[in-house]
Amino acid sequence: CSFLCFDGLLLDSQDNKIMMDTVFTWAMEHAFTKAQMHTDLFAQISILESCLMKQQHKSNSSFTQ
């Protein structure tokens, strides 16, 4: 539901993609929370995903400079 509200909000396509990836991550974590799947494995996967997204953002930024 929130995807429609955020999609295209930012004019720069790269910024919009980063925002949509973030909205997707929040939606996924919200779904896991509602399903009460807060296990150690979920926490590890969530931390790994966050680190990978930050690294991807840094890599993309270095190519544009």
- In contact, 6 and 19? CB cutoff 8 Å: yes
Domain that residue 9 falls in: 2-64
C-alpha to C-alpha distances, 51 to 8, 12, 26, 27, nearest whole angstrom: 25, 23, 15, 18
Phi, psi (5° rounding) for residue 12? -75, 125
> Among residues 18, 52, 30, which one has the least CA distance to residue 6?
18
If one counts the domains in the chain, the total is: 1
Q: Which residues contact 46 (CB under 8 A, 6 or more apart)?
A: 29
What string of pLDDT tens digits covers the 65 residues of the chain? 677 787 888 788 888 888 888 888 888 888 877 776 666 777 788 888 888 888 887 777 665 55
